[in-house]
Structure 1
Amino acid sequence: MNVDELVAIDVHTHAEVSAGGHASLSDELLGASAKYFKEHPRPTIPEMAAYYRERKMAAVVFTVDAEHLTGHPRISNEEVAESCAEHPDVLIPFGSVDPWKGRAGVREVRRLVEKHGVRGFKFHPSIQGFAPDDRMAYPLYEAMQELGVIALFHTGQTGIGAGVPGGGGIRLKYSNPMLVDDVAVDFPELRIILAHPSFPWQDEALAVATHKPYVYIDLSGWSPKYFPPQLVRYANTLLKDKVLFGSDYPVITPDRWLADFAALDIKPEVRPKILKDNAVRLLGLGTEKETART
């Protein structure tokens, strides 16, 4: 990956369909998501690669393993990793392991990192049905810290299950970013990303990211024109080196996100940090090899 040629790095995109047509969510949850986010294409990973290559961007790609709560089989982490490996100029593979899988999940984390080059793991506490500070998940974090990979947590409200009776069994409380604070304390070398403007807990996310040196925030899932003012203020100042561009593609396109971001009141010297430089450092990309550990 030649990071010098990239205009941006999108740290939050979803593989929503496998090569064989298997969807990442059940029909009920997909239907609710389509109503919430509006209907959108569901590209395959090779199609995602072509999309980002055309825009001279790179993208982190993952799915969500939530079999315990939803009963719906996931898209294979191996497929995500292998498909990304076919497009290393633009795609960066992350995995997802349901914390309820216990020791089997820890073995999978190690295998995905050591044999498939996975660079991080996505957690969606509300869809996976666990609190991030539940000790049940700690063996996963321990392995990730040891392996030097990133833990990315969905935070805030989710459109998944919105409008379904009982929210489809999805509990919003698990996605309060303050629940990740214990994780940052107990695994002080683990690199953590709090995904999304964390409605209704934006201040909690800012507090954790400001207090814990290896906690970052990605800006995915919302158009920048709707960002809370305190998020913009912190991105411009105290967190200028810890805020990351993410779109939530395909539910929000980077084209739309970047167009709205261009109108946001972000300092000129901060804008390239958010769009690319912070991600280069955190992910250890490019010729600099300047990882987040420096």
Structure 2
Amino acid sequence: MTGYIDIVCNIYTPEAVQNGWTGLDDDFKRQVRMPADMFGGVSIDEYLKKMDRAGIERSLLIAVRAGDLNVRGSWEIPYKVIADIVAQHPDRFSGLAGIDQTRGMQGLRDLTRAVEDYGFVGAHWYPHWFATAPDAAQIYPYYAKCCELDIPIMMQVGQNLVYSKERRLPSVARPILLDQVAIDFPDLPIIGIHIGVPWTDEMIAMCWKHPNIYTAGDAYAPKHWPKQYVRYADSYGSHKVLFGTDWPVIDPERAVAEVAELGLRPASHARMMRENALAVFTKLPR
């Protein structure tokens, strides 16, 4: 093990697949070239073996909240499910609390409980599942609560694909929409995950402009990362790019191997694969 930290990881166990906790249909699995024998899920024990082979010390598991539960096709992973996995493997996993801003004050209480009782280290939000832009008023109380709890928030920016034909989602989170959020919450670490494709230059611009905005190279195989993103990670943005897989979209063994093939300078590689995560997620064990 080489101590890498994967900041974007979903549970993809047989239980998660059976309970509809992935949001992925078979068409999407084929689109990302998932092996057919994985369609039914991968156990936590098997995934830990993948982490070991990849050199990943810790993965941040998302207790996803994907849309207003009053809307057909929305779903969530209960916080307790993630908390139990973390409790069983405290040296390998940490939790991220999914946000559903439609729950109002109850959602804020849930977020507080996730951090204070379950030890979750950050928040996660999917703007497209709620058709809500990152600078919308409805999400602002959650940004404030994250500041209060001293945790970062990550969110998917850029386009979203058709994960399931039953629920097509709009792309509502261009990276430029983080601009006003960072101005209003300068103390809140904000991570734009999924690279910002196809608006990668906007993602880089936001990271350059705001000290509290970061990005993660997850959901896309590193060998296909935009060239300007790789240059940014290996130069003046080496302190701003974090490593993630968005498992099961990208296999961790593949991701780690392909990052190694990018030819990053040793210091840039170390920052991306571990040091930046420790700097942003201050509640992670040292």
TM above 0.5, yes or no, is: yes
Q: 5+ unaligned residues in a row in structure 1: which ranges? A: 288-294
Residue 125 of structure 2 corresponds to: 123
In 1: Cα distance, 2:43 partner to 2:182 partner: 34
Residue 83 of structure 2 corresponds to: 81
CA drift at 1:72: 3.2
In 2: Cα distance, 1:281 partner to 1:195 partner: 16
TM-score of the two chains, using structure 1 as the length reference: 0.86
Answer with 81-90 or 138-147: which moved more: 81-90
**How large is the Cα RMSD of the aligned pairs?**
2.1
In 1: Cα distance, 2:148 partner to 2:15 partner: 32
Partner of residue 160 from structure 2, selected from 158, 161, 165? 158
CA drift at 1:114: 1.0
In 1: Cα distance, 2:22 partner to 2:260 partner: 33
In 2: Cα distance, 1:189 partner to 1:45 partner: 35
Task: Give 2:128's aligned amino acid.
Answer: S
Residue 195 of structure 2 corresponds to: 197
In 2: Cα distance, 1:209 partner to 1:77 partner: 30
SS at match of 1:185: helix
CA 1:12–1:234: 2 relative to 1, 3 Å: same
In 2: Cα distance, 1:254 partner to 1:282 partner: 21
CA drift at 1:249: 1.3
In 1: Cα distance, 2:78 partner to 2:281 partner: 23
Residue 247 of structure 1 corresponds to: 245
Q: 5+ unaligned residues in a row in structure 2: which ranges? A: none
Work out whether 1:102 is the aligned partner of 2:104.
yes
SS at match of 2:123: strand
Residue 290 of structure 1 corresponds to: none
CA drift at 1:286: 4.5
CA drift at 1:78: 1.7
In 2: Cα distance, 1:264 partner to 1:212 partner: 26
Work out whether 1:7 is the aligned partner of 2:3.
yes
Q: Does the CA-based 8 Å contact 1:49-1:87 persist in structure 2?
A: no
In 1: Cα distance, 2:5 partner to 2:44 partner: 16
Residue 31 of structure 2 corresponds to: 36
In 2: Cα distance, 1:226 partner to 1:177 partner: 19
Task: Give 2:192's aligned amino acid.
Answer: L
CA drift at 1:54: 5.3
Instruction: Describe the superposition over 1:44-97 as per-residue Cα deviations: whole angstroms up to 9, x where unpaired.
Output: 445434542454421111042124155433111121122112211110110102
CA 1:86–1:171: 2 relative to 1, 3 Å: same
Answer with 233-242 or 71-80: which moved more: 71-80
Instruction: Describe the superposition over 1:79-121 as per-residue Cα deviations: whole angstroms up to 9, x where unpaired.
Output: 1122112211110110102111111111111111111111111
Q: Does the CA-based 8 Å contact 2:157-2:193 persist in structure 1?
A: yes
CA drift at 1:154: 0.6
SS at match of 2:215: strand
Answer with 201-210 or 34-43: which moved more: 34-43
In 1: Cα distance, 2:65 partner to 2:14 partner: 13
In 1: Cα distance, 2:227 partner to 2:44 partner: 34
Answer with 189-198 or 276-285: which moved more: 276-285
Residue 217 of structure 2 corresponds to: 219
CA drift at 1:18: 7.3
In 2: Cα distance, 1:70 partner to 1:239 partner: 40
Residue 271 of structure 1 corresponds to: 269
Aligned residues: 277
CA drift at 1:158: 2.2
In 2: Cα distance, 1:76 partner to 1:268 partner: 39
Work out whether 1:169 is the aligned partner of 2:168.
yes
Task: Give 2:169's aligned amino acid.
Answer: I
CA drift at 1:30: 2.1
Residue 291 of structure 1 corresponds to: none
Partner of residue 92 from structure 1, selected from 91, 94, 101? 94
